[in-house]
Amino acid sequence: MTKILVIAEHLDGKLNGATARAVSAAVATTPESIDVIVLSDAPEAIAAEAAKIEGVSKVLTVARAENAHGLAAVLAPQIAKAAAGYSHVFAPSTTFGKDLAPRVAALLGVSQVSDVMSVEGSHTFKRPIYAGNAIVTVEVDAASTVVATIRTASWPAAASTNSSASVEALTLDVTLPSHTRFVDLQQGKSDRPDLQGAAKVVSGGRGVGSKENFEIIYKFADKIGAGVGASRAAVDAGYCPNEMQVGQTGKIIAPELYMAIGISGAIQHLTGIKDAGTIVAINKDGEAPIFEIADIGLVGDLFKILPELEAAIGQ
């Protein structure tokens, strides 16, 4: 019997959109039930949000003061305990899920399927390796619990419904370690659309040249209502913060429109945007590899083109 436990990701009392994407992958596995587990110091509001996701049978809450900061070492033993009776445990393939799920898998004595792109059967999945340059089909032994992270860019968010699944409080008898402590979280504050959920994303690369120059990218993104990303080279050079990095080792995204500006198109960057709807490249070098995969290319100086684009778009 297929019963799936989905680990909810949340921050500041709000459910993260990646959770509903993991639920989509759970739905594709056609299980008997999909339960979402919320571990927090105050799970109620988050659970209420999760209960509205289409396909969810039940939401389980684990309220403990220690769960305030989502530390893997603290959450994993609770999830491993709660996983009894489930055939699958899914988490989104975000830094939260990547940190936590392998720790859960090891406690359950199983390997993990990382970055599930498609579900081929209850125990058969496709996932990328070599920065997405090969896609493998993997089969998990039918007798083992499947622990998997879900590549969020491959899955739409499951819809939200008006009816609510039931919410049940769980008490787990688990002693929690005190060897790991949260100190702080410096969040980039931005009113722009979240990179991982945005329909449009404008990214700048080394070609932008400096932190000051990066304003031209923000300005253009605001003009078209886009989220802002960057190449690793731009982040390494200090033009923008780390959470903006797109690629193999940054965020994997699938916006409807992706505009790469002053980005050469290294394989590790392309890994992050393979699933984008339309890719636009603006680069002064007509030979840049980005043009090999761009749907629309424009050769020229970004500092000249971006103001022209703004003018052409009009008010």
Partner 1 sequence: MKILVGYKRVVDYNVRIQVKPDGSGVVTDGVKLSANPFDDIALEEALRLREKGLAEEVVIVGIGPADLTAHLRNGLAMGANRAIHVQTTDAVSPLAAARTFLKLIEKEQPSLVILGKQAIDDDANQTGQMLAALWDRPQATFASKVEIAGGKVTVTREVDAGLETIEAELPAVITTDLRLNEPRFIKLPDIMKAKSKPIDVIELGSLGVEVADHIKTTHYAAPPKRSKGVMVKDAAELVAALKQKGLL
Nearer to ligand FAD (CB atom), residue 106 or residue 172: 106
Residue 131 CB, nearest approach to ligand FAD (Å): 8
Residue 31 in the binding site for ligand FAD (CB under 6 A) = no
Among 250, 254, 273, 306, binds ligand FAD (CB under 6 A): 250
- β-bridge partners, 282: 261, 298
Question: Which residue in 143, 163, 173, 212 binds partner 1 (CB under 8 A)?
Answer: 143
Is residue 13 at the binding interface for partner 1, with CB under 8 A as the rule? no
How far apart, in whole angstroms, are the C-alpha atoms of residue 310 and residue 315?
9
Q: How many CB atoms lie within 10 A of CB 21?
A: 25
Q: Does 30 bind partner 1 (CB under 8 A)?
A: no
**Cβ(104)–Cβ(79) under 8 Å?**
yes
Q: Using the rule CB under 8 A, which residue among 3, 64, 206, 274 binds partner 1?
A: 274
Strands 14-15, 10-11: pairing is: antiparallel
35 membership: H or E segment, kind and range? strand 33-40
**101 within 8 A of 89, measured Cβ to Cβ:** yes
| Residue from 295, 292, 274, 276 nearest 135 by CA | 274
What is the C-alpha radius of gyration for the chain, rounded to an integer number of angstroms?
Answer: 21
Asked if 229 is part of the footprint of partner 1 (rule: CB under 8 A), the reply reads no
31, 43, 55, 102: which one contacts partner 1 (CB under 8 A)? 102
Q: Does 268 bind ligand FAD (CB under 6 A)?
A: yes
**Partners of 3 in the β-ladder:** 33
**Could you say whether residue 285 binds partner 1 (CB under 8 A)?**
no
Instruction: Give kind and range of the element (H or E) at residue 15.
Output: strand 14-15
Collapsed DSSP state (helix, strand, coil) of residue 281: strand
Which among ligand FAD, partner 1, none contacts residue 234 (Cβ within 5 to 8 A by kind)?
ligand FAD
Q: Which does 29 bind (CB under 5 to 8 A by kind): partner 1, ligand FAD, none?
A: none
139 binds partner 1 (CB under 8 A): yes
Asked if residue 252 binds ligand FAD (CB under 6 A), the reply is no
Site residues (CB under 8 A) for partner 1, limited to 175-214: 177, 179-188, 196, 200
Residues 64-103 that bind ligand FAD (CB under 6 A): none
